[in-house]
Structure 1
Amino acid sequence: MSVTYRDAAIADGPALADMGRRCFVETFGPHFPPDDMTLHLGRMFGPEGLSAELHDPDLRVRMAEENGEIAAYLKLAPMSLPVPHEPGALEVKQLYVLGLWQGAGVAAVLMDSAIETARSEGAPAIYLSVWEQGARAIAFYARRGFVQIGVAPFQLGSRAYQDPVMRLGL
């Protein structure tokens, strides 16, 4: 694999949204009701979703590509999870890796980049929420030093779920 990494530009919005939609369906599609998936996909990856978020100067998106195809991306932004946290903490909003590239090291490179960015900005910690049944993702974050510190609601369509919140002190 010849994977390259770069910061996303506004022009990448449609391709990132398409990749995010594919990844979400690939990962979560079999686990949630179709109507809720449709609502969520429209909200997160429709015109007001990921593409629009790229206009936010506080949001950083780092992506991995192979032969011009987006393999993975990570969104890093100021903390918004409803849990107690230190001022200046950052949050990994999404770390999405398409199945073909899972286990190939792209998630680790993207996470290392997010940690380096957070440290260089003086952030005291990075937080994230993760699907409670995502054992592989939870194990990945734990290997990187994240520990669970609570739960936070996650809205998927018409239903709210409680996802674990993990923290990495910097």
Structure 2
Amino acid sequence: MDVQIRVAQPADLGPLGALARQTYTDAYAHEMPAQALSEHLELHLSPDRLAGMLCRDVVLLAEVAGCLVGFVQFGATRPEYRSDDGTVYATGDDLELRRLYVLAGFQNQGLGGVLMRAAFEHFWLTGRRVFLTVWHTNVAAQRFYARHHFRQIGIVPLRGGETGFDLLLLRDIRQS
């Protein structure tokens, strides 16, 4: 499979939004009530949120035969990355891998690995500690991240009325 990786541009907002909503729906619709899924998509993957995402983060797109099939997003860490006792996990020098999504028809073909390698080759991530969160029931994603040297260091409770939690993972290049 010939995969092209490139940095997302404002002109990509429409196709990126469609891809983000489709991949999120494919991944989580079976675990979320329809109303909660709809609210999440509107809150986190609306055109305005995606435009802001392109302004503050790096988004790398994966294309196959000119079609957008996956993306990875990374940027500054969030302040809630601290333990229950107040221990700070992340510092201002650390980054967060926010999303890595691939269309269902392109999964298990190495595309996620291609996106992960492209992210870690980007100068923002070179030599830095990188955090990410993964839904506690998403075992396939947890295995994928473990193969890329992420290890669990904590738990992040979900905000609002959502139930469940995310696992907090860290990839420390100094320890990989």
List runs of 5+ in structure 1 lacking aligned partners.
none
- The separation in 1 between residues aligned to 2:166 and 2:152, in whole angstroms, is 10
| 8 A Cα contact 1:23 1:98, kept in partner | yes
RMSD over aligned Cα, in angstroms? 1.7
| 8 A Cα contact 2:136 2:164, kept in partner | no
1:128 to partner: Cα distance = 0.2
Greater Cα offset, 129-138 or 67-76: 67-76
Identity %: 28
- Amino acid across the alignment from 2:111: V
Please, what TM-score do these two structures have when normalized by structure 2?
Answer: 0.87
2:168 corresponds to which residue? 165
Matches within 5 A, 1:17-36: 17-36=17-36
| 8 A Cα contact 1:76 1:92, kept in partner | yes
1:115 aligns to 2:113 (yes or no): no
1:6 corresponds to which residue? 6
SS in structure 2 at match of 1:159: coil
1:68 to partner: Cα distance = 2.3
1:96 corresponds to which residue? 101
1:77 to partner: Cα distance = 0.2
1:51 to partner: Cα distance = 3.0
- The separation in 1 between residues aligned to 2:138 and 2:72, in whole angstroms, is 17
CA deviation profile, 1:76-126 (whole Å, cap 9, x unmatched): 101115222233111000011111111111111111122222443x42x00
- The separation in 2 between residues aligned to 1:150 and 1:159, in whole angstroms, is 19
- Displaced runs of 4+ in structure 1, greater than 4 A? none
- The separation in 2 between residues aligned to 1:165 and 1:94, in whole angstroms, is 13
- Amino acid across the alignment from 1:161: G
SS in structure 1 at match of 2:99: strand
- The separation in 2 between residues aligned to 1:89 and 1:21, in whole angstroms, is 27
Structure 1 residues 81, 146: CA separation in 2 closer, same or farther (over 3 Å shift)? Answer: farther
